[in-house]
Amino acid sequence: MPWRARFTSPDPDPTVTADHIPGAIASAVSAGVTLHELGPWTASVYTRYFGPRPLKEDDSVRSTASTLFNAQVSYRATNWARLTLDVFNLFDAKVDDIAYFYTSRLRGEPPAPDIHFHPAEKRSVRFTAAFTY
């Protein structure tokens, strides 16, 4: 039986009878593969998956699932110097890191409930030179 996050106590508002917890993720996966011993090279690929989740207690509005991949390549130049290249959001996925459902409005508009979200960062690269002594 899959894990199901639910409120254990009823809502004090008698009109609310639903028990889903907004934002509670039912399925998540994190996995990676790393190749070592490729001479001075090391390479890794990691993935993170968040399944859809309820955004309202009655589960009538749900977020979308998201999958991101990150990669890393590292080169040991000497016993004391390592160069590393990280690529975040490797495939430049257009997904949401997090989503909420609430009522909001812009000036001059009537209040309306809607999904608000924070998109995942675009593909980005980080280069690191590490020296040990």
pLDDT in tens, 75-111: 999 999 999 999 999 999 999 999 999 999 889 989 9
Instruction: Please tell me the predicted confidence (pLDDT) of residue 3.
Output: 64
Instruction: Please tell me the predicted confidence (pLDDT) of residue 4.
Output: 75
Instruction: Please tell me the predicted confidence (pLDDT) of residue 106.
Output: 87
Distances (CA, A) of 72 to 75, 83, 89, 103, 107: 10, 11, 11, 41, 45
What one-character-per-residue DSSP string does 22-87 give?
TT--S-EEEEEEEEEEETTEEEEEEEEEE---BSSTTS-SBPPPEEEEEEEEEEEEETTEEEEEEE
pTM: 0.81
Instruction: Please tell me the predicted confidence (pLDDT) of residue 34.
Output: 97
Q: Summarize pLDDT for 25-48 with one digit per residue, the tens.
A: 889 999 999 999 899 999 999 999
Instruction: Please tell me the predicted confidence (pLDDT) of residue 1.
Output: 42
- List phi, psi (to 5°) of 94: -100, 80
